[in-house]
Amino acid sequence: MLPDVLAALPVRPFAVMNAVGLVAFALVGATKAIREQFDLFGVTVVGLATAFAGGATRDVLVGRVPLVLRSFGEISLALVGVALAVCAHVALDAADEHPATLAADGVGLAAFATTGAIVATNAGVSGFGVVAVATINAVGGGALADILLGRQPFVLFDDFYASCALLGGLAYWLTAGIGGHPGPAAAVCAGVTVCTRLLAVSLDWHLPTAQRLGRRWRRRR
């Protein structure tokens, strides 16, 4: 029943998820820059980089001109996210730690994992390619933002983050293989990604490090 309803919707899953992801990630990136006391130009640069880096990498990987270079609407949506971040900082204390900002990060992660999976599937790549492009699309912007902020990309350590996008991309590939239409697959991908991310934040999930595994092994001996 639900797959039939989603398939009948007049909107394109890519357009919806792309718009949501651009606004959400521009907001999150700009909020990080505000916390580091960047000026408004710097805040805008970091916000736009967070919104566009993952999608631009996705497009290059599948052999097409990045969408941000072909559509002014992309810039407009990202600027909305930056403006929301500035307004949130004016209205709230510690806006970067506010639940709404954390939720926006999870929603943006889910949206961009979905757009990456859609583009990769349409490009005809393998299942591995779908999962890889979905993950890169979802985490590439945040990784570049961390570099601009002068720190190691947190996606590489200390958090269960990229794994959520990976699971979402895998869910898209499996669902698309069963049903064919991108609508249900997009809904499943977004749902899996955002739910696992919220669970990871709530339950403090972390992937093990080599050092932690080594300590456990030595204790057992």
Residue with the larger pLDDT of the pair 75 and 217? 75
φ, ψ (nearest 5 deg) of residue 148: -65, -30
Task: Give domain status of residue 96, yes or no.
Answer: yes
pLDDT for the residue 180? 65
Q: Are 161 and 139 in contact (CB under 8 A)?
A: yes
Task: Give domain status of residue 175, yes or no.
Answer: yes
Q: Lowest-confidence range among 71-75, 127-131, 140-144? A: 71-75
Say if residue 10's pLDDT is above 70: no
Q: Which two tokens stand for residue 67?
A: 């969408």
Query: In whole angstroms, what is the distance from residue 212 CA to residue 105 CA?
Result: 28
> CA angle at residue 99 from 98 to 105, to 5 degrees?
100
Minimal CA–CA distance to 95: which of 43, 137, 140? 43
Task: Give domain status of residue 23, yes or no.
Answer: yes
In terms of residue numbers, what domain contains 156?
A: 12-208
Per-residue pLDDT tens digits for 37-90: 999 999 999 999 999 999 999 999 999 999 999 989 999 999 999 999 999 998
Task: Give domain status of residue 214, yes or no.
Answer: no
How many domains are there within the chain? 1
Taking the C-alpha atoms of 202, 204, 114 and 56 in order, what is their torsion angle to the nearest 10 degrees? 130
Task: Give domain status of residue 38, yes or no.
Answer: yes
Query: In whole angstroms, what is the distance from residue 108 CA to residue 159 CA?
Result: 16
Report the pLDDT averaged over residues 126-134.
Answer: 97
pLDDT for the residue 158? 65
Query: In whole angstroms, what is the distance from residue 166 CA to residue 219 CA?
Result: 32
pLDDT for the residue 213? 78
pLDDT for the residue 174? 95
